[in-house]
Amino acid sequence: MSRFAFVFPGQGSQYVGMGKELAAQFPEARAVFDAADDALGEKLSTLCFEGPEEALKLTANTQPAILTVSIAAHAVVAKRLGAPAFVAGHSLGEYSALVAVGAMSLGDAVRAVRARGTFMQEAVPAGVGAMAAVLGLPADKVQAICQESAQGEVVAPANFNEPTQTVIAGHAAAVERASAALKSAGAKRVLPLPVSAPFHCGLMQPVVPRLDEVLSKVAFKVPSAPVITNVEAAPNTDPSRTKPLLLSQVTGSVRWVECVQTLEREGVTKVYELGPGKVLCGLVKRIATAIEAVHVEDLKSLDKAFPAAPVAAAS
């Protein structure tokens, strides 16, 4: 029996219409949207299904929206596959992973990431911070150049996405200095990212005490499968460590390369990316060629993932 894992996407994968087909076709997916709407006291489902796009792109909306769509996809897939050997998520996706294995309730999670998105948005004034994707340089080289380019400001690796793709974040001027130095050092491309705040770096520190207050009200439970965490890239099953790990994630790097390598070491041969987009599938294929990666976000991708089990009409 092959060992499989569920992985969950982070911010940036959202689009108007996400989750609509699954909610229309499967009562278990519809129930997830209803529960998220109830938890927030507003129609998050309508925002996912109909937009407007400008509202969906606001960080405080994007985070609970992606989480809800991911858990709706999980509800459909888990019915077919049962429990995974492991779960993992990229940044925001770690909250989806926790919900999927029962470590956190859906209601607590959507409220927490709504707060997390709001706090992140408010932590750094517009224009003060920036992020850029660095392609074609090894991570240790990127890290060293960031340290040299800081000059008293903040610039550091935010996401280790694949062996030669690292996202950096920090003060706009420091990111600019690092970008120029990285190009000189041989980076194939350095692309400024259209983000609303510099995530996963020291500038996010003001978020931590505010998020701590929110997460202190959450009853974390023992997960039904280990969660490979962003900041340690190692399995966690201890509910007393969940909150500290989520708080560390705010300012710490997303160690996605190592997360996937951990799955590979643990004998995982297939991952299912559940939620909007297939960004993580692409990253997994470039990190661990032996792992098969499939995604499920709508009826077409569900049929492709489970060709022997045609989609049944909703009862």
Other Cβ atoms less than 10 A from the Cβ of 31: the count is: 14
311 has pLDDT over 60 = no
Is the domain of 116 the same as that of 136? no
Distance CA 152, CA 299 (A): 50
CB 67 within 8 A of CB 113: yes
**DSSP H helical ranges for 59-171:** 59-81, 93-100, 106-123, 139-150
More confident residue, 197 or 212: 212
More confidently predicted of 308 and 257: 257
Cα separation, 27 vs 194, in Å, equals 36
Q: Would you please indicate which residues are annotated as catalytic (active-site) residues?
A: 91, 200
Could you list the residue range(s) of the whole structural domain that residue 251 is in?
A: 3-123+204-305
CATH number, domain at 267?
3.40.366.10
Contact between 111 and 67 under an 8 Å Cβ cutoff? The reply is no
Residue 258 lies in a domain: yes
Ramachandran quadrant class, 41 (left: phi over 0; alpha: psi -120 to 50; beta: rest): left
Whether residue 96 is found in the same domain as residue 238:
yes
Distances from the Cα of 170 to the Cα of 74, 112, 162, angstroms: 34, 24, 20
**Could you count the other beta carbons within 10 Å of the beta carbon of residue 163?**
14
Say yes or no: 218 and 247 in one domain: yes
Where among 195, 224, 250 does a domain terminate?
Answer: 195
| Residue-averaged pLDDT of the chain | 95
Domain limit, last residue, from 195, 218, 242: 195
Residue 315 has pLDDT above 60, yes or no: no
Instruction: Render pLDDT for 7-33 as a digit per residue (tens, 0 to 9).
Output: 999 998 999 999 999 999 999 999 999
CA distance to 179, 228, 306, per residue, from 267 (Å): 37, 14, 22
Residue 136: CB partners within 8 Å, gap ≥ 6?
Answer: 164, 186, 187, 188, 189
228 and 137 within one domain = no
Tell me what the mean pLDDT of segment 262-286 comes to. Answer: 97
The answer to whether residues 75 and 90 belong to one domain is yes
Same domain, 227 and 174: no
Q: Do residue 167 and residue 40 come from a single domain? A: no
Global pTM value: 0.96
Same-domain check for residues 89 and 187:
no
219 and 84 both lie in a single domain: yes
Structure tokens at 260: 């996937």
Whether 97 and 155 map to the same domain: the answer is no
Q: What's the DSSP call for residue 82?
A: -
User: Which residues are registered as beta bridge partners of 3?
Assistant: 268
* Number of structural domains found in the chain: 2
Determine the Cα–Cα distance for residues 263 and 227; give it in Å rounded to an integer. Answer: 10
289 with 151, same domain? no
pLDDT at residue 84, as a whole number: 97
57 phi/psi in degrees, rounded to 5: -80, -10
268 shares a domain with 184: no
Residue 188 sits in a domain whose CATH number is 3.30.70.250
Is 260 within a domain?
yes
Please state the φ and ψ torsions of residue 276, each to the nearest 5 degrees: -65, 140
Q: Look at residue 41 and tell me if it is in a domain.
A: yes
Helix (H/G/I), strand (E/B), else coil: 73: helix
Q: Are 291 and 258 in contact (CB under 8 A)?
A: no
Q: What number is the average pLDDT over the span 192-217?
A: 95
Domain boundary among 195, 214, 242: 195
Residues in the chain: 315
Residue 161 lies in a domain: yes
Q: How many other C-beta atoms lie within 10 A of the C-beta of residue 292?
A: 16
